[in-house]
A and B are shown apart, each in its own frame.
Chain A
Amino acid sequence: MENPIRNIAYDALVIGAGIAGGETALNLANTGYKVLLVDRELSVGGKMIMLSKVFPTLDCAACITTPKVSEISRHPNITIFTGSEVSKIRKVSDNEFVALVTKQPRYVHIEDCTACQLCEKACPVNVRDQYQFGLIGRKAAFIPFSICSPKAAAIDIDNCTLCGACEKVCPTNCIDFTMEVETMELHVKTIVVATGFNLFNAEKMPRYGFGKYKNVITAQQMERELAPTRPFNTILRPGDGKVPDKIAYVLCVGSRDASIGNPVCSQICCMYSIKQAQLLMGSLPMADVTIYYINIRSFGKGFEEFYQQAKGMGVNFVKGKIGRISEKENGNLILRYEDINEGKLQEAEHDMVILSTGVLPNTGIDKLFENQKLQLDQFSFIGQSDMLASPAKTSIEGVFVAGTATGPMDIPDSILSAGSASSEAISYLIQHP
C-alpha cells in the first residue's frame, strides 16, 4: 500500500497537547486561526489529565481538564493528531515552516468508534497498562483511560495476537488493521513548542530500591491510586495488596542533586507530595504519613497555608536526607537517613515508600529544526531569548515556547505561559500575514 504524503496548510502548529499546548491552541483558535495540535500520546490532556486533584485548592483535576479538553476537541479551528510526532521542521521563509509529521496507525477509525468497550471485553490479551503506570493490566484493544479524548479505542499492535475477536464484536466496524503509518508535510506560519517535561527515572538511584522493592513506588503511581479511576479498590501496596498504615514520602528524588546531573529544583514535588499526603489521610484516616524533605519550598499563592494545613492534619515532616532504603522479609522498608536538625543518622520503618521524582527536560526537540538552531538553556530546557519582556520567544523567529518546556512550573504558571505564547504567536501572525 502506498504511503500517502499530504500537503496541508495551517496558521499554527502546536507541538504537545498537554495543558499548556491545549490552552495555546484554544487561544489561537478562538482568535480565528487554524491550528494543528500534535501529540504523541493517544489522548490530549498531557500529564494533568492523569492527576487526582490539584494543589493547593484540592479541586478535582479531571473536573478542570475535561471541559477544556472537550472544548479543544470540538473546536472547528483545531485539528488534532494524536499518536503523532513531528520528525522534521524547516523554515522556508519569514512566515512559512514546513513540518514533517508522522502519524502512527491507531487501527481504529476514531469518528466511527462509540467507545462501547465491546472490543476491550472480547480481547484475550493482558499487558501492563501504561496509563496506570504498570500497576494493573489492560487489553491490547483498549480505551486509553476513561476520560481520554478522543474517546475511542486503540489497538496495541505490538501485543495484539491478531485474533480478530475485537473486529467480530465491533458494532460499527471501526477497527481496521489495514491502517498504515502516514507521513504528512505541513505548511505552517508559526510554531508553538509545548512538549512538557519528563519525570526522573527512579531506577537510576538504586539505593532507593525502586523496581527492586515492590512497595517503593513513584508519586505518579500514587497519584493513580488516589484518582477516582484508580487501579485498585482502595490504596494498596503493589507488593502484596496490604492496606498501608505507615507511609513515607522521599522528596527531591532526582532533583536538586548535581551528582545525578539535575541540580534544578522541580518546584512542584514538595506541593504534590503534601497534596497526596492530605488525600491519603482522607482515604486512610488511621495511617501515619511522614514526609522526608531537605527544604519545603512553599512559594506560591496559598502554598504555605497548604503546608501548614497538612501539618495540622497530622502529617509528620522530617528534615532528613535519605541515604538508603532496604527491605524486610515482610515487605516493609527501612529508611536510613540523616536527621538534618539533630545531625544524626537515624533509621525508620515504613510499609510503603513514595518517591517524589523530579522534573527533567523533554529532550530532542531542538534536533527537529533542520536549518535553524533552537537554543537550549544550561539545563537543556528550551531557552527563552527574552525571558523578562517576551518569555515565549525562542532563538528562532516565529517559534514560541509554552509551559514546562521552558523549565519546571506548576499548572497555573503553565497556563499563564500558554497565554504568553499564544499572544506572541498571534502578534507574529498579524505581522507576517
Chain B
Amino acid sequence: MLPPWTEIMQYIRKSPKRQTVEVLRAAAARGRPVVQPRCGVGGHGEMRTLLTTLEQRGRPDILTITIDSFTRLKQFRSAAQTLQRDPAGLNGYPLVTHGWRRGRELNELVDAPIEVRHGSPDPRELFAVALASGFTSFEGGGIDYNLPYSKDVPLARSLAAWAQVDRLCGVLAETGVIVDRELFGTLTAVLVPPSVSLAVCLLEARAASLAGVRCLSVAYPQGGEVHQDIAALRSIPVLARRYLPEHVEVFPVLHEFMGVFPRDPDVADALILYGGLTARLGGAAKVINKTNQEARGIPDAEANVAGIRTTALACTDLLDFVRVDEATVEEETYWLQREVAELVEPVLAAPDLSAAIVEAFTDGRLDIPFSASVHARSEVIPKRDSTGAIRYLGAGRLPFSRPTLRRNEQCLRVDRASLSGRLIDEIRSDINFFVQAETRSQAARLATRAAPTRSAVTGPGGAR
C-alpha cells in the first residue's frame, strides 16, 4: 500500500536533498556536464552497497536505480519469486516488489538524487512507487520505451499510459514539485540516425509538455562522429525553443556510445573519455557513462567507478584545448534541423498529437531502424559515411524533401548496385565501428613490433 498523496508530497518537499532539476540547472549554468552511472541489482542489501560504493568512490552528481525486466513488463509476481529464490538472477532492482519504504531508504542513503531508469511501455505502478520513494527523476516515454523493448504493445496504449504519468507530473509541478522526465532518444541503440532520435524525443516532449511536464531531459546517443554528435546536442535547446512551450526547461543529455563496445578495457576507456569530451563540446547538461566491462555484460562497481571518473575527467578543463571544425558542425546542424523539421512538422500540425504519432508510425512517415516492435516498420536503412557519421542509405517512407535525400546520398557516395551484395556486411561493420577501431589499433601495434622502421614512415593515418 502506498502512503496517502499528501504524505508523499510532504516527504518530497521536506527532503533536504537537492532535486535532479537543480543539479541539471547548475550544470547547464556552469557549461560542464554532470555524470550519472547506470546501476541496478536485485537484492536490497546489494543495491545499498552498490549505491554507497559508487557515491563514495565515483562521486557522480546523479545516481540511478535501473529496474529489472520483470518489473518493466509488470510481471510483479515473477519479480517477487526470482527475488526470493535468486536475487542475482534479476537484471535490475525490482522497486515495486521491494516497495516504497525501501525506496525511501535508498533515497536517504546517498547525497546524489536518484533517477529511475527502466524500459517499460506502461510505467504507472512503477512511477507511483518511485514517487512515494522520493525519486523525482524518471526516464522514458510512450514511443522510446515501447518500440525498442516490446514486440506488440500498440503505440496508442503506451502513449496513453505515459500521458497519465506526465499529467501527474503536471499536477506535481503546480504544487512546486518538479519531476525531471528524461526521454530515451537512444532508442534501439544501433545506428540510430540523429534526426530520428531528435524527432521522436521532440514529439514525446511536446506531448509531455502539453500534459503539464515542466522539466525535460532529452537524451541523445553518441553516434561516434564528433561533429554530427555536437550538432545534435547543440540542436536540442534550439529545437526545444522552436517546438515546445516557453515555460518548459529542457536539458540536453548524452548517452555514451550504446552500441557494440570494444573488449579491450584500455580501448573501452578511451571511448569513454571520448564520450565525456563529446558531451562537453556539445553542451550537454548530463552524460550517462559506460564502463570498460560493457562488452562483457553488467559491470561490477569497480568498473562503474572507473567509468564515472574517466567521464568526469573528460568534462574538466583538462581537455579544454580541444577545438572542432565549427564549419562542419554548422553544416551538420543545418541539415539535421531540416531533417527533424521534415519529420515532426506534419505530425505537430495534426489536431490530436497522440493519434497523429500512431498514424505516422503505421504509415512509416515516422520510423526507427531495427525495431523490436511490429508497430514500427523499420524500413529505414542507416549507414555510416566515410567519416563515420550516420546517414540514411534508405529513408523508407520518411517524408524527406529531395534536397535532404540528395544530401544523404552525397555524403554516402555509394554505388548502390555494387553495394547490394555486401550490404549486410557493410552495415554490420558500421555497427561494429568501435570494435574495428580496436582491431585496427591492435594490428598497428603488431606491425610496429614487426617492422619498426617502416611503420614510423607509414604512421597510423592510412588505417581508414
Q: Are both chains from one complex?
A: no
Chain B residues close to A by CB (< 8 Å): none
